[in-house]
């Protein structure tokens, strides 16, 4: 896949938060979540999957995001340097 098509299909937004490895990893995970939710929503809107299937898939993805947040310790001590 060429660089241009990869950027089109999998765009990455800039990260403006505190630059720490765990924050960068979580940000990437969160962006992947939003991308996948968009795809799932489009599939449901076009009748390719049911709303129930979409909800289940999004719920599973959200659980993965929550697990990632907990494992990375993101937000545990928001005011520590």
pTM: 0.72
- Spatial contact of 69 and 26, defined as CB atoms under 8 Å apart: yes
User: Could you identify the residue written with the tokens 């795809």?
Assistant: 39
**Mean pLDDT for the chain?**
83
Is the pLDDT at 31 greater than 70? The verdict is yes
- Spatial contact of 28 and 22, defined as CB atoms under 8 Å apart: no
pLDDT band, residue 21 (cuts 50/70/90): confident
Which H or E run contains 71? helix 51-72
Q: What is the pLDDT of residue 45?
A: 97
pLDDT tens column, 39-72: 999 999 999 999 999 999 999 999 999 999 999 9
């Amino acid at each position: 896949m060429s660089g241009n098509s990869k950027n089109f299909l999998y765009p990455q937004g800039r990260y403006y938060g505190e630059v720490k490895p765990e924050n960068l990893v979580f940000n990437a995970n969160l962006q992947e979540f939003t991308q996948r939710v968009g795809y799932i929503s489009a599939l449901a809107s076009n009748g390719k999957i049911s709303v129930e299937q979409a909800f289940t898939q999004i719920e599973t993805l959200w659980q993965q995001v929550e697990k990632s947040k907990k494992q990375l310790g993101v937000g545990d001590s928001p005011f520590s340097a």
